[in-house]
Amino acid sequence: MKLEIQLDRENGVPLTEQIVSGVTAWIRSRAAHPGSKLPSIRQFAADFGVSRFPVIEAYDRLVSLGYVDSRHGSGFYVADRQPAASRCQGTSDPRRAEDESGHLLQQFNYPGETLKLGNGSIPESWRDMDAIAQAIRHVSRTDPASMVDYATPLGNLTLREHLQSRIGQLGIQADTSQILITNGASQAFDLLMRYMLKAGDTIFVEDPGYYNLYGLLKLHGVNLVGIARTRNGPDLDVMQAQLKLHRPKLLFINTVFHNPTGTTVAPQVAFRLLQLAREHGFSIIEDDIYADFQTELTDRLATLDQLEHVIYVAGLSKTLSSSLRIGCVVASHAIIKDLVDIKMLTSIGGSRFAEAVAVSLLERGAYRKYLERLRRRMRDALGSTIQTLENAGWEIFEKPVGGKFVWARVPHVADAQRLVECGVPLGVTVVPGCYFRPNMEVSPWIRIHAAFSNDPRAQAFFHAAAALPADA
CATH code assigned to 115-125+368-466: 3.90.1150.10
Q: Which of 48-57, 269-278, 290-299 ranks highest by mean pLDDT?
A: 269-278
- How far apart (Å, rounded) are the C-alpha atoms in residues 408 and 412? 12
pLDDT at 105: 45
pLDDT tens per residue across span 182-195: 999 999 999 999 99
CATH code assigned to 9-82: 1.10.10.10
DSSP H helices, 79-156, are 129-142
For 178-241, the DSSP string reads GEEEEEHHHHHHHHHHHHH--TT-EEEEEES--HHHHHHHHHTTPEEEEEEEETTEE-HHHHHH
98 pLDDT band (50/70/90 cuts)?
Answer: very low
Once rounded to an integer, what is the mean pLDDT over residues 119-131? 91
412 pLDDT higher than 50: yes
133 pLDDT higher than 90: yes
- Mean per-residue pLDDT over the chain, rounded: 90
pLDDT tens per residue across span 298-318: 999 999 999 999 999 999 988
**Can 115-125+368-466 and 129-365 be said to share one CATH topology?**
no
65 pLDDT higher than 90: no
121 pLDDT higher than 50: yes
What is this structure's pTM? 0.79
Which among 252, 324, 317 is positioned nearest to 286, based on CA atoms? 252
Once rounded to an integer, what is the mean pLDDT over residues 117-142? 93
pLDDT tens per residue across span 198-251: 999 999 999 999 988 998 998 889 999 999 999 999 999 999 999 999 999 999
Choice between 103 and 223, residue whose per-residue pLDDT is larger = 223
Choice between 88 and 241, residue whose per-residue pLDDT is larger = 241
pLDDT at 384: 97
pLDDT at 106: 45
pLDDT at 362: 95
90 pLDDT band (50/70/90 cuts)?
Answer: very low
Residue 272 CA, chain-centre distance (Å), reads: 28
pLDDT tens per residue across span 280-295: 999 999 999 999 999 9
Burial of 339 (0-12, 13-18, 19+ CB in 10 A): buried
Give the start-to-end residue ranges of the domains of the chain: 9-82, 115-125+368-466, 129-365
Burial of 193 (0-12, 13-18, 19+ CB in 10 A): buried
> Could you give the angle at the alpha carbon of 32 between the alpha carbons of 27 and 38, nearest 5°?
85
pLDDT tens per residue across span 440-457: 899 999 999 999 999 999
353 pLDDT band (50/70/90 cuts)?
Answer: very high
pLDDT tens per residue across span 384-403: 999 999 999 999 999 999 99
Element (H, E) at 164: helix 157-168
140 pLDDT higher than 50: yes
CATH architecture of 129-365: 3-Layer(aba) Sandwich (3.40)
82 pLDDT band (50/70/90 cuts)?
Answer: low
Once rounded to an integer, what is the mean pLDDT over residues 117-125? 90
pLDDT at 112: 52
- How far apart (Å, rounded) are the C-alpha atoms in residues 446 and 461? 13
Query: What percentage of the chain exceeds 70 in pLDDT?
Result: 92
91 pLDDT higher than 60: no
> Could you give the angle at the alpha carbon of 167 between the alpha carbons of 163 and 172, nearest 5°?
135
